[in-house]
Amino acid sequence: MSSEVRLGVTLLRVAVASVFVIHGVARTLNGTVGSFGGFLESWGFPAGVALAWAITITEVLGGTLLAVGICVRPLALWFALQIAAGIVMVHAQHGWFVVGAGTGGAEYSALIIAALISVTLTDSASHRLGRRV
């Protein structure tokens, strides 16, 4: 894998990981973990606040690990599933567009999932080549 490709994939991995770290930190600092837990309970998830804390901690710690290239494939797949759940639970009902032709839609989430899949596939390829990205 060329150094340019390696640098590009690393940049993508760090950028997408930072989205999760910032999201989890913001939820913590804004004091909205409890309301997120209430939202999860409204969808039938048991122990919503505990689950919200688990998700928040995973975003911060897992996002940090993803950024530095540790546990890349499992974390990227987890975050892709988390974002897909967000599409189903929140964004799909608002359509495609986040802003402009609509609000709150799924386009941003779809882009994050594509980035995570790209990071996962590239990390898998680098392992087959005996290298880390």
| DSSP for 21-86, written as a single string | HHHHHHHHHTT-HHHHHHHHHHTT-SSHHHHHHHHHHIIIIIHHHHHHTSSHHHHHHHHHHHHHHH
pLDDT at 4: 87
Q: Quick check: 126 pLDDT over 70?
A: no
- Report domain extents, the chain: 3-128
* Structure tokens that stand for 92 in this block: 């799909």
Residues 12-44 have pLDDT tens digits of 999 999 999 999 999 999 999 999 999 999 999
With a pLDDT cut of 70, the percent of the chain lying above it is 92
